[in-house]
Amino acid sequence: GQNIDQPTEMTATEGAIVQINCTYQTSGFNGLFWYQQHAGEAPTFLSYNVLDGLEEKGRFSSFLSRSKGYSYLLLKELQMKDSASYLCAVRDQANNLFFGTGTRLTVIP
């Protein structure tokens, strides 16, 4: 079966750095995705990791350790518009995508 865990809620201050963790247990692994979802809107793709290490894309970075079943999303120089839910999703070798329940991030002034 699949099990994906991430914190339910986090709060951080504008301008700061925040790290959102995701741990997973899947039958086979074929990539991990991070999505951003603003309230009332559809998820939008942020990042993709399939090999161990850090992928950087502007203010956002995503890290993967396959041996530990662990990923994190790092957001730097937080802005108010970064307040959203962040979804971790893992794809198994059958190309099925499984989502965590999401982490709701609130950025405060």
Partner 1 sequence: DVKVTQSSRYLVKRTGEKVFLECVQDMDHENMFWYRQDPGLGLRLIYFSYDVKMKEKGDIPEGYSVSREKKERFSLILESASTNQTSMYLCASSLAGGSGLAGNTIYFGEGSWLTVV
Site map (CB under 8 A) of partner 1, residues 70-109, x = contact: -----------------x-x-x-xxxxx-xxxx-------
- Give the total of residues touching partner 1 (CB under 8 A): 23
Q: Looking at beta carbons only, is 50 or 54 nearer to partner 1? A: 50
- Alpha carbon 22 to chain centroid distance? 7
Among 41, 52, 56, 77, binds partner 1 (CB under 8 A): 41
Among 10, 21, 23, 30, binds partner 1 (CB under 8 A): 30
Closest CA to 89 of 39, 13, 31: 31
Spell 17-52 as b/e; 16+ CB within 10 A means b: ebebebbbebeebebbbbbbbeeeeebeebbebeee
**How far separated are the first and last CA of the chain, in Å rounded?**
41
Q: Enumerate binding residues for partner 1 (CB under 8 A).
A: 30-31, 33, 40-45, 48, 50, 87, 89, 91, 93-97, 99-102
